[in-house]
């Protein structure tokens, strides 16, 4: 059975979308159709990535990272994953700029993801990896 985790929408992504939408509307206002069309396409791609990013733990011991329909799907085998931990960026007072999950695979490659519930995602990966190792022995 596959388990799907959706991505959390971060505040910087929302600000980025509003900035591009504002510039796109301004380009329409000043009658710059080509630039407005390019920005509209960029806006569609960004919103697609924000909405449709998924992290799927499959029954055949793979982690599939889908970052929308316009991006390439990435697959990681559980036997290649060496470490998984929750990280944060800069802290301002009691708030962090961003929280993410850092996955180390092949001992020297890293990938950062932002699941909606990082602790559940980490627990699911650890549980699946332990179950995978027990079945392999």
Q: What is the pTM of this model?
A: 0.83
Predicted confidence (pLDDT) at residue 105 exceeds the cutoff of 80: yes
Bridge partner residues of 112 (DSSP): 102
Cβ atoms of 105 and 81 within 8 Å: the answer is: yes
pLDDT band at residue 24 using 50, 70 and 90 as cut-offs: very high
In whole angstroms, what is the distance from residue 113 CA to residue 53 CA? 10
Please write the tens of the pLDDT for every residue from 45-74: 999 999 999 999 998 889 999 998 989 999
Here the tokens at position 91 are 């802290």
- The three-state secondary structure class of 103 is strand
């Amino acid at each position: 059975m596959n388990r799907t985790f959706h991505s959390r929408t971060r505040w910087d992504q929302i600000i980025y979308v509003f900035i591009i939408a504002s510039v796109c509307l301004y380009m329409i206002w000043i009658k710059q159709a080509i630039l407005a069309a390019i920005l509209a396409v960029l806006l569609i791609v960004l919103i697609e990535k924000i909405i449709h990013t998924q992290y799927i733990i499959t029954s055949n011991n793979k982690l599939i990272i889908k970052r929308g329909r316009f991006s390439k799907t990435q697959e990681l085998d559980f036997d290649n994953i060496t470490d998984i931990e929750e990280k944060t960026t800069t802290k301002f007072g009691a708030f962090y700029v961003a929280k993410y999950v850092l996955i180390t695979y092949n001992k020297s490659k890293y990938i950062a993801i932002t699941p909606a519930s990082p602790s559940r995602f980490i627990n699911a990966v650890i549980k699946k990896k332990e179950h995978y190792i027990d079945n392999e022995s």
